[in-house]
Every structure is written in structure tokens, then in C-alpha cells.
Chain A
Amino acid sequence: MRSYVLRRLLQVVPLLLGISALTFLLLQLAPGDFLTTVSENPQVSAAALEQMRRNFGLDQPWYVQYLLYLKNIFLHFDFGESFAYHRPVFVVLRSGLLNTLLLASAAMVVTWGLAIPLGVIAAVRQHTPVDRALSVGAFVWLSLPEVLTGLLLLMLAARTGWFPVGGMHSDDASSMGAAARALDVARHLVLPAVVVGLIPLASRMRQMRASLLDVLRLDYVTTARAKGLSEGRVVVGHALRNAMNPLITLFGFTLGSLVSGSFVAETIFSWPGLGSITLEALRSQDQYLVLGAVLMASFVLVLGNLVADLLLAVADPRIAHG
């Protein structure tokens, strides 16, 4: 087990290096010389430009620049400077990443909070109209992209005023107490979290249904029924726990897709997450910010896959020894 974990951890390093090299190369292919773009940017002061030229070798060939970029990350944890924000890239991205992770966690609550009960109902009521209605609903749902659900919910918010139409805080948030502020953020979080959480709902529900159906066929479930337990206790107390196992390993994989999935919801609801920052950085040609954002998003995805693999190995020891 330990050697498997170690091996799996070691695989992550070249992967992240490769991603950084690929992204760096892509951004170098961007039209115009990077140094000229930067020096033409009125927001960059001469002193900052001089410092970046020195630290990042902006007048050097791209591979030298790349090595300097890596060196600055490893030695100083310096991802460069954001021109638009006048702050280090890492500082800008850290707050964005935290907001995205907050959104992703809330979305996960929405997904599982709906997928588990709906999947259980569909499985218990297999081949009944309820089951059929849920599977038709899931199919229709698969055809409704998050852009559309996002815009429809934004319309709901704009017309009814039940929810804020965007952002993360109300205008008067600074005068609120801690509890009121948290509640305010939660209110802003609801709609984007629903949009992101509903993306994987249909497939999670199907997986839950299939998994529970598999377990309900097993002998120990029949034993539980034979003992005279109520059907509810058989399903919830005995079957569900084992049916959840394969889904737990999905948890890690979901993390990566949530980071990508929240991109659109963040822009629609002006949620100040990684996606909003990245899009803004692309528009203002804030190169180091784009680079850092892609790296950070990939890091989360790779980490999520790693967690998923490790969970899988814990759940099924054959994987670690195979």
C-alpha cells in the first residue's frame, strides 16, 4: 500500500511539470512579443517592469524564461506579478481558488443531497412510473447545459428578488456582524451552487440507482428481510451503506470536474472565483495570471484524481497490489 501511494505521488510531479511547460508554450505562441505587450500596458510601472525583466528573463528565449519561471516558483514561491491587480499572482489566485472551492463544496452538497435520495427512490421503485419518470427526467436534464440553467436561475433572481443577482457580498456587508456576513455569503452562494451541483446530478442519480440495485440482489439483504426487518430499514440500514462504496471513490474525480464546471456559473453570477479571474485575465492579457490560473486549476484536478485513486485503493486493496 505504501509503495503504491509513493508511486502514485511521484507520478504527479512530472505531470504538473508537463502541464506548466505546455501552458507556458501555448502562451508564448500568443501573438506579439510578451515584453512589448507588458511595456505597452499603462498599468505596469517602469520599476515593476524592470524587476520582472530581471526575475523572469523577459528578453530571453522562451526556454530560459520557462526555467526562470520554475526557479521562481520553487525558490520563492513567486508565480509572477498580475498587471491588472498590481499584486502577486499567487495572492490573487488564492482568494479565487478559495471562493471556487467554497462554491464546489456547496455544489457537492446539492449533487449528493439530491442524487442519493432520488437514486434510492428510483431503485426501490424499479419499473414503476416513479422510476420511469425519474429516468426520463434524467435524460431531459442531460440535455440542459449549465449555461441555460444558470441564465434561467439568474432570470428568476432578477424577476423575483428572492436571491441576489450576483457577487458574493451585499453592498452593506462590511457593516454586518460575522454571523450576518456568513448568512449573506450563503444567500449569494445558493444559485451558483445549484447550477454547478445540478450538472452531474443526472449521471450520479443513475449510478446510485444501479449501485443500490446490485446490492439489493445480494444474499445478506434477503437475510435482513427474512429477519423481518421493515423494507425501509433494510434499504437504509443495510443496503445503502454498501451501495455508497463505489460512489465514494467518484468523489475525487468529481472535484476536478467541479472546478471546470463552476467556470460558467461563476461568470453568470459574478462569483469571484478562479473562473471569473481567469476570464478577466485572458481579456486584459494578464499573462502570468492566466498561466498561474491554468496551473492551479490543473493542480486541483490532478489532486482530485490522486485522492480518487487512493480512495479506490483503500476500498479495493487489489489495485494497490496489482
Chain B
Amino acid sequence: MAEPAAAPPHSPRALFWRRFRRSPLAVAGGALLIVLYALALFAPFVAPYAENDIDRGRFYHPPTLLHWVDASGRFHAGGFVYATVRDPGSESGWREDRSRPVPLRWLARGARWKLLGLVPSDRHLFGVPAPERVFVFGADQLGRDVLTRALFGAQVSLTVGLVGIALSFAIGLLLGAISGYVGGWVDEGLMRLTELLLSIPALYLIVALRAVFPVQLPSRDVYLALVVILALLGWAGLARVIRGMVLGIRQHEYVLAAEALGMSRTRIIVRHILPNTLSFVVVAATVAVPGYILGEVVLSFLGMGVQEPAASWGNMLAQARSLAVLRSSAWMLYVPSLAIFATVMAFNLFGDGLRDALDPRGLTGGRA
């Protein structure tokens, strides 16, 4: 199609981008999200070990310090660590053996992995030759690398919420639109149902929904169960808002025109009504994502979600919860905590920026 010579200088998308870029915090939040999701995607490469690489000789091993300058003052560009030996006298139970420097190997060969189950490789971003180990953020009770677990855990924790919210919003949009457009007893029934769901405190509803699944679930089913629970948890509130918006939209002349032309209800809802709620839905979804991610974290933390040996940020927190760990191996707490905090913060910054850019008049309201 030939573009007219004098195209309008500012398309809505260009305007949106300009407003979004004007907020450095929102851009920073978006950039942080890209980094976090990239780390999750390339977890097997970035992590020095496999998800369940157990080293029973090094349980609760403290973080390994990275060095660049050795005892004689020589500088090593690639960095190195010292081999560690048990030392019951020291606070952490381990000390560095200064006589045995171990150079870090970049792009080292290690455990085999497949990117997205397709591209095989055995390269890791860094590593040290066996039998030495590098634990940048320490090791857990089974001698597994905390950094490795956190990276693999991100694959679960960062995606369960997104899939859950996608399902939840699909249900909420559809039922909200049907409720608002069809009206009558359908509307009445659906709205009473949402009231019921909203009257059960969130975590108690989670418990009731979790009870539907067996107490012990194989790890691949847990993922599905979590998605279903999170999806059923959140749709009610959205459905009520969408219903309200649809009640307004259906009065517009173009909807009446579509009706007069004899379009089917389904087509009117999908083609003419739902697209008008889009910018609200995008913003509401972005702002709601942290809640869904925390949903997984809390479920796994309480032992209702992802189970060992699979890693998730929530079950890493659960392992860090024992008093012994909190007293002397607190590194097990720091990495998953920081990851959760950074993720929630990034989504909040990004979501606020998105809202301001898509909806400068503030129609969608602030976060409560």
C-alpha cells in the first residue's frame, strides 16, 4: 500500500516510545528485566555446574573469593581462586590454601547441557578444573553451588508467574467481556462467582486450590499445578473491571452499528470490544506480574510448590530458613532474596513507566 507523502509525524506508537524513554527509571527497569530473563534462558551456560551437582564433601561451603593479585604481587588478568581446605578453627569451617592458586577458566568445559533442549554444548562461562570448586555465592547443605541453583531456579520463578498471568488475564478478559456484553443471568452468575472468589483471603484460596492436587507431585506436574492455581486466583478482580469497561464500550455507536449489521456476539466481543480494553490490560498485567511471581515464591517457600531436587527461588528460601543456616551460612539466603527483590523492583519500575506512557491521564489508576 502506498504511504501518503505527508505521513503524520507522530504515530501513537512513536508517541508512546517517546514518553516511555523520557523516564530513565522505567528504561532501567526494562533493561534489568532483559538481563534477568537472559540469565534465566542461558542459565546452563552462565552457571558453572549442573542444577543438581552435589558435592557432599563441601556442604555449607562459604563463598569462594575471586583474586587477581597473587602472594608475590603478580597480576592475573583471568582471575584465580585458592583451593580451600577444611579448618574447624575458622568461623566458616573452611580456609584458603594460599599455596595452591587455581586459575579460573573462562568458557571452560564442564557438564553437558542443551539450550532450550535443542542446542547441545558443554561450555560454561567460567569454571575451575575438578576436583577444586568455585562457589561464587557459596554452597548449600548438599554442597550444591548457590549461584547455579539460583540461575536454574530463575527458569521456574520468572516464568510460572508470566504463564499464570497470561492464563488468568485470558479468563478474566473473556468472562468480563461476556458478563458485560451479554448481561442478564449470565452477568449475575459470573459476578456472584467473582465476589465469592474475592471474599476468600488469597493464601487460604491458594490452600484450597492446592488441596485439589496430591500433596506430593512430580516436578513437571508442579509447574502446571502452580500455573493453574495462580491463574484461578487472579482472574476475578480483572473480570469485574473489564465488565465495567465493556458496559461503557457497548454503548458506543460503532458497536451498535456492528449489531445492526448482524455481526455475531462472539465477533463483536472479540473484534470490537476487547481491543478497546487493550492498553488498560497491558498496564494492569505488567503491574500485576510481581504478585504472580511472589505467588510461586510463597507457595514453594511454604512447601506447596516446587519440590527438591528442582530449584526455585521459593524453595531456596525455604532451605535458608533454618536457624543454623541463618546463623552461619546466610549466603544461602542472600542470592535468592536479592533475585526476588531485583525482579519485583524491575517490574514495578517498568510497569509504572508503561502506565505513564500508555495512559498519561492516569485512567488506570496507581498501585494501591
A residues in contact (CB < 8 Å) with B: 15, 18-19, 22-23, 26-27, 29-31, 139-140, 142-145, 147-148, 151-152, 154-155, 158-159, 165, 203, 256-257, 259-260, 263-264, 267-268, 275, 278-279, 282-283, 285, 287, 290, 293-294, 297-298, 300-302, 305
A191 to B205, CA, bound (A): 26
Judge whether A26 and B211 touch: CB under 8 Å: yes
Question: Chain A interface: which of B9-17, B158-166, B276-284, B298-306?
Answer: B298-306
Number of B residues near A (Cβ < 8 Å) is 44
Give B322's nearest chain A residue, CB to CB: A158
Question: Chain A interface: which of B120-128, B129-137, B144-152, B191-199?
Answer: B191-199
B204: chain A residues at CB < 8 Å are: 260, 263, 278, 293-294, 297-298
A275: chain B residues at CB < 8 Å are: 203
B211's partner among A27, A203, A298 (CB-CB below 8 A) is: A27
Judge whether B212 and A139 touch: CB under 8 Å: no
A154's partner among B196, B326, B341 (CB-CB below 8 A) is: B326
Judge whether B202 and A260 touch: CB under 8 Å: yes
A294 to B207, CA, bound (A): 8
Q: List 26 A-B contacts (CB under 8 A).
A: A18-B196, A22-B196, A23-B208, A26-B208, A30-B212, A30-B213, A143-B290, A145-B344, A147-B297, A148-B341, A151-B321, A152-B337, A158-B326, A159-B327, A260-B202, A260-B203, A263-B203, A264-B203, A279-B304, A282-B210, A285-B215, A290-B207, A290-B208, A298-B204, A301-B199, A301-B201
B348 contacts chain A at the CB level, 8 A cutoff: yes
Judge whether B199 and A268 touch: CB under 8 Å: no
B178: chain A residues at CB < 8 Å are: none
A26 to B192, CA, bound (A): 17
B212: chain A residues at CB < 8 Å are: 26-27, 29-31
Q: Is the interface of B mostly helix, strand, loop or mixed?
A: helix
B residues in contact (CB < 8 Å) with A: 192, 195-197, 199-205, 207-215, 290, 294, 297-298, 301-304, 317, 320-321, 323, 326-327, 330, 333, 337, 340-341, 344-345, 348, 367-368
A257: chain B residues at CB < 8 Å are: 201
Give A15's nearest chain B residue, CB to CB: B199
Closest 4 CB pairs of A and B: A260-B201, A143-B345, A263-B203, A155-B326
Knowing A15-B196, A147-B301, A268-B321 are in contact, say whether A290-B337 is a contact too (CB < 8 A). Answer: no
Judge whether B321 and A31 touch: CB under 8 Å: no
Min CB distance A317 to B, Å, is 25
Knowing A155-B330, A158-B327, A290-B211 are in contact, say whether A147-B317 is a contact too (CB < 8 A). Answer: yes
